[in-house]
Amino acid sequence: MIYVVFVEPESPGNIGFLARTMKNFGLTNLVLINPCELKNESYYQAMHARDVVSNCEIYETLEEFLEKANISTAVATTGNAGGSYNISKIAVTPETLSDSINYGGNICLIFGREGNGLSNQEIALCDVIVSIPTHEEYQIMNVTHAAAIIFYELFKKEKSYPVDTLEPASAQEKKSLTAIMDEIIVKLGYPEHKTKNAQLVFDRIIQRAFITGREAHTLKGTLRRINLRTKEK
């Protein structure tokens, strides 16, 4: 079970934004600690995640929630990981978190107040701190945007939800394209190193171009015809 905990949210709209981005990544358990009043704005910003808002649990303190929910891993988030207030714990990136997290127990991802984040005492209750690498000029993200990135990174590693796109060309299909082009290039009468280079360039382009299966099929037809019609030197 994964809980998303928002500690003392100050803006009703942000509760909705958080709920929406949770649902975008398959998360539904929202916990609010001593929140501002839920308002229409919360439901409005949640869009199709209104159910996440209306099913939220509310606790008075973070400590109370951690005890009652039998949390095995509490993950704190901070935009200020290097702060001297917390030198005793090392912050990891969302990617590292995603690599190492164990989904077997009850996990919670804890986000702090819009203005001041989590307190030292709250962070001390957590097992892991996660911080997003940002540009040095402006490191503090909006809390719901930071949450989106962490959810995305966790979801991505789980690999349960592929992007719904056209079928990309298989490695085999791409190989058959470069194989035909290799034959064509050999006929062009280049010196050997130029032949190799020309083949390499075409190969790289094919690997990099996100070719679909359908495109590979069309291009293969084209290259075959070219090959048939190309005179050897």
| Least CB distance to a copy of itself at residue 197 (A) | 6
Q: Which of residues 198-227 bind a copy of itself (CB under 8 A)?
A: 198, 201-202, 204-206, 208-212, 215, 218-219, 221-222, 225-226
Q: Is 229 in the site for a copy of itself (CB under 8 A)?
A: yes
Of 45 and 125, which has the nearer Cβ to a copy of itself?
45
Of 34 and 155, which has the nearer Cβ to a copy of itself?
155
3-state SS, residue 25:
coil
Which residue, 177, 185, 186, 181, is CA-closest to 209?
177
CA quadruple 64, 69, 72, 77: dihedral sign: negative
Of 70 and 160, which has the nearer Cβ to a copy of itself?
160
Q: Which of residues 45-74 bind a copy of itself (CB under 8 A)?
A: 45, 47-49
| Least CB distance to a copy of itself at residue 146 (A) | 8
| Least CB distance to a copy of itself at residue 27 (A) | 8
Given 71, 108, 126, 185, the residue binding a copy of itself (CB under 8 A):
185
Given 2, 7, 92, 125, the residue binding a copy of itself (CB under 8 A):
92
List all residues 6 or more positions away from 90 whose beta carbon is below 8 Å from its beta carbon: 129
Region of 53-61, 68-76, 103-111, 157-165 interacting with a copy of itself (CB under 8 A): 157-165
Give the integer Cα–Cα distance in Å for 159 and 4. 20
Of 7 and 180, which has the nearer Cβ to a copy of itself?
180
Q: Which of residues 93-152 bind a copy of itself (CB under 8 A)?
A: 93, 95-96, 100, 128, 131-142, 144-146, 148-149, 152
Contact of 111 with 5, CB cutoff 8 Å = yes
Contact of 101 with 127, CB cutoff 8 Å = no
Of 51 and 57, which has the nearer Cβ to a copy of itself?
51
Give the integer Cα–Cα distance in Å for 119 and 143. 15
What the block records as the tokens of 179 is: 């194989």
Give the integer Cα–Cα distance in Å for 71 and 65. 9
CB atoms within 10 A of CB 116: 10
